[in-house]
């Protein structure tokens, strides 16, 4: 019974983490686009009831960063009031806006700690997680299959699961838009394969996992229109996969034999990506919005290297956008969406986690980003264990996605992955310590 309950808990938490277009967003605002926010209080109660609060070093990095941005936010409230002559910036109270922006990292902090404790409580937590992940992988494969069938039809597939009834002609699963899917799928494609090998599952189960993961990857990649996803496949996933196969004795022959198949797939992805970029470079709202927002974020960072907090962001970011728009660099791009940021604080963001936080925390964020994200990748890269390839791919994908084209505010599957890797790293370090002790004793 205990096994079933813990598997169910993992299944529910992970399912809700990847569900990112919850209809209650229409009632409570953007924070409610993920149902996880409604579980924050129960999760906090569970954490407080836990006999021993376990704070990993990554958890401490997170707490330090939130406190740092909080202090910067407090400092910039009077500064913005002095410069603006009011607490209202673009019809938004900077104090209330700062509180709203604080809720996101605070809920992430609670979620991260909850998942970490969930993994840390019990020796067989990875087994429970694997069972839940495998079940959810099957569900995703089925959902993806039917969504593609209804893709170009007027009928909306499972419209009741989304926040509106507007037809969306691209794959998005349980998210708001397709650009959010890459982090979800890479986790559900590669982590099950890693766990199947790490936990030494029976051959039949491994084969099922391999087939499911391959199907999801190829099926989605073929129908994907997400430029960010295709770009990261070309620059990160594909080279890492080729390197992995080349270093694996059994797969090296498969690589050479399968080259006639792999090369056309790679060329197909590159052609589709180049075609999308060529057709939409000067007409797509996406390119104009993102390039302008990146430049505006860098301008705020250069002029305020220690960040402007959640309060100063509302004042300085629109000002930086206005300056960038008036330059010749972006004059040929579609700036319709980004110009809207000058009149409302709704959806005011760079659309990337890195550049948003670069304004919030400045150099403090860069330190946090390196310690919290990049050092993890370095840790798993120093081992020769080829199975760790299935850890590095989704980790690198999430890092680059957060740098290029997606925010992590409600991307709880990313924070779930980070909590999982936190526990995994502890297990590996403990194993190495025991091996060293045994070597020393002998």
Instruction: Please tell me what DSSP assigns to residue 156.
Output: P
Distance CA 30, CA 21 (A): 10
pLDDT at 51: 65
pLDDT at 59: 94
Where is average pLDDT lowest: 62-66, 106-110, 170-174, 237-241?
237-241
pLDDT at 254: 62
Q: List the beta bridge partners of residue 201.
A: none
Give the residue among 378, 386, 421, 409 at the shortest CA–CA distance from 115: 421
The pLDDT tens digits for 185-233 are 999 999 999 999 999 999 999 999 999 999 999 899 888 888 888 888 8
pTM of the model: 0.91
Q: List the beta bridge partners of residue 89.
A: 92
Residue 310 vs residues 65, 100, 111, 306: alpha-carbon distances, Å: 13, 9, 21, 13
Q: Give the pair of three-digit tokens for residue 344.
A: 């409302």
Q: Give the pair of three-digit tokens for residue 65.
A: 């960063």
Residue 378 vs residues 65, 108, 373: alpha-carbon distances, Å: 21, 24, 9
Distance CA 274, CA 269 (A): 9
Instruction: Please tell me what DSSP assigns to residue 92.
Output: E
Are 107 and 36 within 8 A, CB to CB? yes
The pLDDT tens digits for 7-54 are 999 999 999 999 999 999 999 888 899 999 999 999 999 888 876 677
* Cα 355 from chain centroid (whole Å): 14
Are 128 and 199 within 8 A, CB to CB? no
Q: What is the mean pLDDT of the chain?
A: 87
Burial class (CB in 10 A: 0-12, 13-18, 19+), 312: buried
Are 192 and 239 within 8 A, CB to CB? no
**How many residues are given for the chain?**
442
| pLDDT band with cut points at 50, 70 and 90 for residue 1 | very low
Q: Give the pair of three-digit tokens for residue 180.
A: 């959010």
The pLDDT tens digits for 89-118 are 888 899 999 999 999 999 999 999 999 999
Helices 125-149 & 94-120 angle (0-180, nearest 10): 120
Query: Three-state DSSP class for 74?
Result: helix
Where is average pLDDT lowest: 265-274, 292-301, 412-421, 427-436?
265-274
Residue 203 vs residues 193, 207, 250, 389: alpha-carbon distances, Å: 12, 6, 16, 19
pLDDT at 189: 94
pLDDT at 397 over 60: yes
The pLDDT tens digits for 301-322 are 999 999 999 999 999 999 999 8
């Amino acid at each position: 019974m205990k096994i079933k309950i813990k598997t169910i808990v993992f299944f529910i938490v992970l399912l809700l983490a990847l569900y990112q277009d919850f209809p209650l967003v229409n009632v409570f605002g953007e924070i409610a686009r993920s149902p996880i926010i409604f579980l924050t209080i129960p999760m906090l109660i569970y954490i407080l009831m836990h006999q021993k609060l376990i704070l990993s070093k990554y958890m401490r990095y997170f707490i330090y960063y939130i406190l740092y941005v909080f202090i910067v936010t407090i400092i910039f409230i009077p500064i913005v009031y002095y410069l603006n002559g009011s607490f209202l910036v673009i019809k938004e109270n900077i104090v209330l806006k700062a509180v709203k922006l604080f809720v996101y990292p605070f809920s992430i902090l609670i979620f991260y700690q909850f998942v970490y404790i969930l993994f840390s409580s019990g020796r067989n937590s990875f087994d429970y997680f694997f069972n839940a992940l495998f079940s959810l992988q099957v569900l995703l494969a089925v959902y993806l299959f039917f969504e593609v069938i209804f893709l170009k039809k007027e009928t909306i597939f499972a419209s009741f699961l989304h926040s509106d009834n507007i037809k969306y002609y691209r794959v998005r699963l349980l998210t708001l838009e397709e650009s959010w899917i890459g982090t979800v799928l890479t986790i559900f494609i590669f982590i099950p394969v890693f766990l199947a090998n790490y936990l030494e599952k029976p051959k039949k189960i491994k084969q099922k996992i391999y087939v499911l993961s391959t199907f999801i990857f190829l099926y989605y990649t073929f129908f994907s229109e997400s430029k960010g996803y295709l770009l990261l496949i070309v620059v990160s996933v594909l080279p890492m996969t080729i390197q992995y196969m080349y270093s694996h004795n059994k797969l090296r022959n498969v690589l050479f034999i399968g080259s006639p198949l792999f090369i056309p797939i790679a060329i197909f992805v590159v052609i589709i990506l180049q075609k999308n970029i060529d057709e939409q470079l000067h007409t797509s709202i996406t390119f104009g919005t993102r390039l302008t927002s990146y430049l505006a974020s860098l301008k705020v960072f250069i002029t305020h290297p220690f960040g402007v907090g959640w309060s100063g962001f509302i004042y300085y970011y629109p000002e930086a956008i206005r300056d960038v728009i008036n330059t010749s660099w972006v004059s040929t791009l579609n700036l319709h969406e980004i110009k809207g940021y000058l009149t409302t604080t709704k959806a005011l963001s760079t659309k990337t986690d890195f550049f948003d936080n670069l304004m919030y925390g400045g150099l403090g964020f860069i330190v946090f980003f390196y310690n919290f994200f990049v050092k993890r990748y370095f840790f798993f890269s120093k081992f020769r264990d080829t199975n760790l390839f299935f850890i590095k791919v989704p980790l690198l994908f999430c890092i680059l996605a957060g740098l290029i084209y997606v925010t992590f505010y409600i991307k709880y599957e990313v924070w779930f992955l980070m909590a999982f890797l936190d526990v995994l790293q502890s297990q590996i370090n403990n194993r190495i310590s025991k091996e060293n002790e045994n070597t020393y004793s002998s």
